[in-house]
Structures are given as C-alpha cells and as structure tokens.
Amino acid sequence: MSTLHIVSSSPFDSNAFSSALKTASQGDAILLIENGVYAAVDALQIDNLMSGAMPDVTHYVLSEDVDARALPRLRNNIAKVDYAGFVALVCQHHNSVSWN
Amino acid sequence: MIISVMVTGSPVSQQSAQTALSFCQAALSAGHQIYRVFFYEDAVQLGSALNVAPQDERNLNAAWSEFVKQYELDAVICVASALKRGILNDSEASRYQKPAANLAEGFDISGLGQWVDACLNSDRVVSFGA
C-alpha cells in the first residue's frame, strides 16, 4: 500500500514539504505542485531539509508549475511530470495525501 | 480507474481550482472515469453564476461550469459551505426566503455524505486546496 504525497505549498512558507518527507515511507512518492515546486530547486536549504529523509521515496515535480515560475535549476534527484503523469502517479499509488 | 476529486481552495486566491480542473481533464483524456467532483469550503465559490472575471484573466467559474456540463459530471457543492457564502439554488433560496438563487449550471448543492459516497465508490480520491 503506497502513498502519493502531494505538496502544494512552498517549503519557505509552510512545513508541508518537511511533513511529507517525515511521513513518506519506503515505496511512496512525493509530487510537488503549485508553490510546492520551490522544493524542487537546487539549493542548500532544500538539501538541508532533505537530509535524513527516507531514501526509497521518489520525488516528482509538475512541469507546468515549474515553467509558470521560471525556475532555473532543479535538483537532479527529481523527475518532471505533466498532468498526464500526475494522473498516472495517482493511479500507481493506493492513496494520496495532500499537504498544504 | 474511477476517480473522485475534492476541491477546497478559493478560486480567487489559490491555484487549486485551476490545478484540479487540469487534473480532471487529464484524467478523462487518459480514459479514467470521474465519479464525482466535490466542492467544499471556499471552493464552493466556483458554483456562483454571478462572478465577473476581469477581461485579461481566465474565468475559472465559467471554465468549470462548461467542463462539468460537457462531460455531464456529478459536480456537488457542499450545502453548509455554500449557504454561508451565499451560493444558493432555487430550493435553498425559497427555504431561507432569499431574493435570488445564483447556482451556476452544471452544479448541484448537496451534503458531505456525497463525499463519503464518492470515497466508497472510487478507486482513487484526490484533494486540491488548503
């Protein structure tokens, strides 16, 4: 029973991303959408948040929301998906949790 | 798969109603079935037929209304959230003796039990908004 954690708030505004990192267990995935995509940038603050996170959790980011915010450089341990990919992720996991 | 979607974010101050619409369109394109879309808390504002969007902005209320009509989706507005925010259909307007009803085409007003029913009858449920 795996879970898709959908994070929609910036890691600089809320604890949503940190909470998802702490809650996600092996085989889960984290999808960053809306302002949550700021957790996909290649930055020291994000690395610090990620340290100690569960290793077997795949990270995804919604490409439309990355493009809308013109984010220059994403960390290399994250995969871009479009809305079709978003739907596929929802179907691949048994449950979804939305973190704001 | 059978998917249900809950939307809770305000359409005027949050992105979630837009995200949910794009998600629903992608789900239908991929051949999935949408059992119900449930609008709760501030997202019930999407059910108003009286909002006017600026000319250079997308009218999300109209986009959602068109979408649910086009695909004949079950789009439910939570009654408790709706009444508090002045979204009424004809029967609620007459029940509470209000001068007008403003529920947009394609939407129904009903209770949270409809979301429980959606959870029981869907393979996947996804929530959008704070």
Domain of B33, in residue numbers:
2-128
Would you state the pLDDT for residue A53?
A: 86
Global confidence as pTM: 0.97
Cβ separation of B128 and A98 shorter than 8 Å? yes
CATH (domain of A32): 3.40.1260.10
Structural domain total, chain B: 1
Structural domain total, chain A: 1
Say how far apart CA A23 and CA A34 lie, in whole Å.
20
Cβ separation of A88 and B124 shorter than 8 Å? no
Tell me what percent of chain B is helix, strand and coil, each rounded to the nearest 5.
40, 20, 40
Give the alpha-carbon dihedral of B12, B32, B109, A94, to 10 degrees: -80
Residue B130 clears pLDDT 80, i.e. is over it: no
Is B127 buried (19+), middle (13-18) or exposed (0-12) by CB count in 10 A? Answer: buried
CATH (domain of B112): 3.40.1260.10
**Sorting pLDDT into bands at 50, 70 and 90, what band is B107?**
very high
Q: Encode pLDDT of B24-68 as tens digits.
A: 999 999 999 999 999 999 999 999 999 999 999 999 999 999 999
Q: How far is CA A64 from the centre of its chain?
A: 14
Beta-carbon contacts of residue A59 (< 8 Å; ≥ 6 apart):
A29, A30, A31, A32, A40, A77, A78, A79
Residue of A nearest to B25 (CA): A83
Domain of A50, in residue numbers:
3-99
Largest Cα–Cα distance of chain B, in whole Å? 45
Residue A17 clears pLDDT 80, i.e. is over it: yes
Q: Does the beta carbon of A17 lie under 8 angstroms from any beta carbon of chain B?
A: no
Catalytic residues of B: 78
Q: Does the beta carbon of A3 lie under 8 angstroms from any beta carbon of chain B?
A: no
Q: Does the beta carbon of B11 lie under 8 angstroms from any beta carbon of chain A?
A: no
Q: How far is B84 from chain A (nearest CA, A)?
A: 24
Average pLDDT (B117-124) is: 98
